[in-house]
């Protein structure tokens, strides 16, 4: 009997030992989960939230793609290939806009003869006007590319492209028209420049995490950049992102001062940009948020401003040209910059005037300039953080 009791006691002790080991294992696992959660929470606190805002066609998404190329691993072959239908669509959309615009100018302009397409190209134009109006586009073959190239080189189309002001001709037009043969190759894989020029309207919200000093270095700030659609029907999706923002990067396409909105051709794009910037500045949740204003598309602006005076835009109606060449470009740019500075201070409450506000001249397609600009943004925000921590 005693031996049975002792044996049973041994079994009980053995069971307790197994239970204790199991409990210890579960406790260790729970502790590890808690440690990881704590680490992730701390890491999140050190991530700076950047919001990329601006009207449609301001170049926001090109800036976003540049960040992926500059501070992450870029685009792999699969991602590059995913842009093929986008690029082919851009080609079809461009030639349709130019052909339809040419037809309209031929009917309505006083000197309409220069917009009359040659009879041999008329049929080609009608064909691509129909294709460009579809929701699904055919793959760009060599034969189709040759026809588009023929139409593109028609004197009337070239005149329309040069005039271009009242048309919604995308900025990628010339680049893609000059590369039709390569874009239509059977084994075509887009280059990084093709991807940067590709135009697809942002819908919803996309984000990327990066550090301007490089992803493999421990020093420097870590940023999470959010890009959202700029068209009016997309802006309702912005609001939920407004909380906890370190800085707003607002893109303004300064070359668009003579163009109408894509979604509302009765509204000047620069006027829309002005009103949008003013509205964002007045949002209560941005009381302590830094503002980085990117005066974008400077490369287009410096060519256009010598041909089309700034004062065609109602917001710039008091502008007076003073010179020619580079001096006029600089004078015009400084005028636009001052207009935005005045708008910033007029739209900023007195208790917010000490928040960080910087203006940068940018060309979203220029990788070196974008890299330099983001390093300046990084330095500015780092100084702000050090100042708020009492270390400066």
- Residue numbering of the annotated binding site: 61, 196-202, 227-231, 296-299, 364
Torsion, CA 92, CA 93, CA 98, CA 103, rounded to 10: 90
Pairing of strands 47-54, 357-361: unpaired
- DSSP assignment of 273-319, as one string? HHHHHHHHHT-GGGTT-EEEEEEE-HHHHHHHTTTS-GGGSGGGTT-
Identify the burial level of 255 via C-beta atoms within 10 angstroms of its C-beta, where 0-12 means exposed, 13-18 middle and 19 or more buried. buried
| Residues 6+ positions from 385 with CB-CB distance below 8 Å | 221
Residue 244 burial (C-beta neighbours within 10 Å; 0-12, 13-18, 19+): exposed
In a 3-state reduction of DSSP, which class is residue 72?
coil
Helices 142-152 and 119-132: angle between axes, nearest 10 degrees: 120
The structure tokens 């669509």 sit at 89
Query: 205, 31 in Cβ contact below 8 A?
Result: no
Binding residues for Mg(2+): 61, 202
Q: Where are the alpha helices (DSSP H) in 46-166?
A: 60-71, 77-81, 84-108, 119-132, 142-152, 155-163
* Three-state DSSP string of 228-274: ECCCHHHHHHCHHHCCCCCEEEEEEEHHHCCCECCCCCCCEHHHHHH
Residue 136, number of CB atoms within 10 A of its CB: 7
* Residue numbering of the annotated binding site for GTP: 196-202, 227-231, 296-299, 364
Is 206 in contact with 226 (CB distance < 8 Å)? yes
Burial of 54 from C-beta contacts in 10 A (0-12 / 13-18 / 19+)? buried
Name the strands in the sheet holding 290-296, side by side, starting at the edge strand that comes first in the sequence.
Answer: 205-210, 222-228, 47-54, 247-253, 290-296, 357-361
């Amino acid at each position: 009997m005693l031996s049975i009791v002792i044996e049973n006691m041994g079994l009980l002790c053995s069971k307790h030992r197994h239970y204790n080991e199991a409990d210890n294992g579960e406790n260790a696992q729970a502790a590890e989960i808690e440690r990881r959660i704590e680490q992730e929470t701390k890491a999140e606190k050190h991530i700076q939230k950047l919001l990329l805002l601006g009207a449609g066609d301001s170049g926001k998404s090109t800036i976003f793609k540049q960040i992926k190329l500059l501070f992450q691993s870029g685009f792999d072959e699969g991602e590059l290939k995913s842009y093929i239908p986008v690029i082919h669509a851009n080609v079809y959309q461009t030639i349709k806009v130019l052909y339809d615009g040419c037809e309209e100018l031929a009917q309505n302009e006083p000197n309409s003869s220069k917009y009359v397409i040659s009879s041999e190209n008329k049929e080609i134009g009608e064909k691509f006007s129909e294709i460009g109006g579809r929701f699904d586009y055919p793959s760009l073959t060599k034969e189709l590319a040759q026809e588009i190239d023929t139409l593109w080189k028609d004197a009337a189309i070239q005149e329309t492209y040069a005039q271009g002001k009242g048309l919604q001709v995308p900025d990628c037009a010339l680049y893609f028209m000059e590369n039709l043969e390569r874009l239509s190759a059977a084994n075509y894989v887009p280059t990084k420049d093709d991807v940067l020029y590709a135009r697809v309207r942002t819908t919803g919200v996309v984000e990327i995490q990066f550090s301007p000093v490089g992803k493999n270095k421990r020093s420097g700030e870590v940023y999470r950049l959010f890009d959202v659609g700029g068209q009016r029907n997309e802006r309702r999706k912005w609001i939920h992102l407004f909380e906890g923002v370190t800085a707003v990067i607002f893109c303004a396409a300064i070359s668009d001062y003579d163009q109408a909105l894509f979604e509302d051709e009765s509204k000047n794009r620069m006027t829309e940009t002005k009103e949008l910037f003013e509205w964002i500045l007045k949002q209560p949740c941005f009381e302590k948020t830094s503002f980085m204003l990117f005066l974008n598309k400077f490369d287009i602006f410096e060519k256009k401003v010598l041909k089309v005076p700034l004062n065609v835009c109602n917001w710039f109606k008091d502008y007076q040209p003073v010179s020619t060449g580079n001096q006029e470009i600089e004078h015009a740019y400084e005028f636009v910059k001052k207009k935005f500075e005045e708008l910033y201070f007029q739209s900023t409450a007195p208790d917010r005037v000490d928040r960080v506000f910087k203006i940068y001249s940018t060309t979203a397609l220029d990788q070196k300039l974008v890299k330099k600009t983001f390093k300046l943004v990084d330095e500015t925000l780092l100084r702000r953080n050090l100042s708020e921590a009492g270390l400066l």
